[in-house]
Amino acid sequence: MANLLQIGELAKQTGLSIRTLRYYDEIGLLVPSHRTEAEYRLYSEADIARLQQILSLRQLGFALKEIRECLENPEYSLPQVIDLHLARLQEQMAVSRSLFAQLSKLAQQLQSSQSVAVEDLITTMETITMTQQYLTQEQQNLLEGRLNQDQQAELQQFLTQVRSYQAEGRDLNDPEVQQMAWQWREGLLSLVGGDLQFYEALMRLYQQEGAEAASRGRLDGPTMEYILKAVAMLSVREELSVREELVGFALGRLAPETYAVLTQGQAAMRKLQLNFLGTEGLLLGLLAVETSVAAQALGEQGVGFASAETLIRDWLANHTVPPTDIPTEIPFTPRTCRILELAAKQVQRQGDGQITPQHLLLGILQEGETGGGLAMHVLQTCGVDCDRLKQQLNNPC
């Protein structure tokens, strides 16, 4: 463990940003081999060697998707890398031929008319060159076809309205600003036509060249930032609204045993001097209601209330400070809300009438696949076979 690097140290040594390393983790390109109990990324020597391969392939002009496919191929070899590089060079040659044709056409137009300013000519040439670094010819044709004169006029009118909101200092939660964000998002979806690669190419163009250059002067950086913040706020509001509906649905569909689980979970949290109901509280509540199928399934794998409580108490003693005030109604943590959402989705999908303790335990296991809280730490410490546990819960005798 002594040779492991934290993400900040690795970023400093390689010159990459922490954001880039996190993105590589999210897309599965460079997943750190280790994590701390607090979920901090730790990179091994093998991870660093893989990163060097990634950076080398990036220098050859490979896309991240191509790099991942290359590194995940067990038959990965130097000849394959060369073949891929040759294919990329062929694409670049095709782009150069297209650029040559467009500039030749522009030169012919200039011979018949001297009205184009030198500055405009240079800007046009730079725009063509820059765009073709990111978009294929097919994508450029689609972009030009979908941004006709009427749509460009609508875009200009839209941006004028956005700038007026900026000048007024409108809050991002303002209904009109949120409507603007919705229009932008819908317009972008319509522009790319559901093509993820087209969208990613446009985003690379904006990120690396800047809003003003990428939009040919139509959109400045501050306006783009204002729009993106409003869109982010809209997305969060929509997500929270959906979650609130699901949690409300879940709380309205609790079976008597499940209600008892939450009650026992809150009691266990008070006993541990905690002012929230986290995944550990759900687990203790499930174990406390011994008659449920979930408790019996856990018991068969050696997990009992006393042993789980001891593990949780020991972990909390080393990682938390007891709060000074514990409310009468202990609130749910975000992870607990997420587990209730997952349980509600199971009920909706299966057509069951009520949320049972089995649904809650399945929610803990499902949420644990993307990280998991203290409940998953307890199950893993106890050596629980999560796959077998899922099968047993989905197919109770």
Under a CB-based contact definition with an 8 Å cutoff, are residues 142 and 193 in contact? Answer: yes
User: Which residue is it, tokens 């047993």?
Assistant: 392
Question: What are the residue boundaries of the structural domains of the chain, listed by start?
Answer: 5-76, 136-237, 253-394
End-to-end CA distance of the chain: 44
Question: What are the contacts of 163-168 at 24+ separation with CB within 8 A?
Answer: 163/223, 165/226, 166/222, 166/223, 166/226
pLDDT at 99: 57
pLDDT tens digits, the chain, 397 residues: what are they? 457 888 888 888 888 888 888 888 888 888 998 887 777 788 998 888 888 888 877 776 677 777 887 787 766 665 666 676 677 667 666 656 655 666 666 666 666 665 555 555 544 555 555 555 667 767 776 776 666 666 677 778 888 888 999 889 888 888 899 888 888 888 887 777 767 777 787 777 777 777 776 666 677 888 888 888 888 888 777 766 766 676 777 778 888 999 899 999 999 988 888 888 889 999 999 999 999 999 999 999 999 999 999 999 888 877 666 666 666 678 888 888 888 888 888 888 777 678 899 999 999 998 887 767 889 889 989 998 988 888 888 876 5
Under a CB-based contact definition with an 8 Å cutoff, are residues 25 and 11 in contact? Answer: no
Superfamily of domain 253-394: Clp, N-terminal domain (1.10.1780.10)
Q: What is the C-alpha to C-alpha distance for residues 44 and 159, in angstroms, rounded to an integer? A: 48
Under a CB-based contact definition with an 8 Å cutoff, are residues 270 and 327 in contact? Answer: no
Q: Which of 197, 210, 215 lies closest to 63, judged by CA?
A: 197
Dig out the tokens for 32 from the structure. Answer: 């750190």
Dump strand ranges (E) for 56-186.
none
Indicate the pairing of strand 41-43 with strand 34-35: antiparallel
How far is CA 240 from its chain centroid? 15
Residue 138 one-letter amino acid: E
Q: Which of 365, 370, 371, 367 lies closest to 385, judged by CA?
A: 365
Alpha-carbon distance values, 338 to 38, 168, 352, 377, 379 (Å):
19, 37, 19, 17, 18
Give the dihedral sign, CA 135/138/142/145: positive
Which one is the CATH code of 5-76: 1.10.1660.10, 1.10.8.870, 1.25.40.10, 3.10.450.30?
1.10.1660.10
Helix (H, G, I), strand (E, B) or coil at 38: coil
Alpha-carbon distance values, 321 to 275, 284, 315 (Å):
11, 20, 11
Calculate ∠ Cα 319-370-246, nearest 5°. Answer: 100
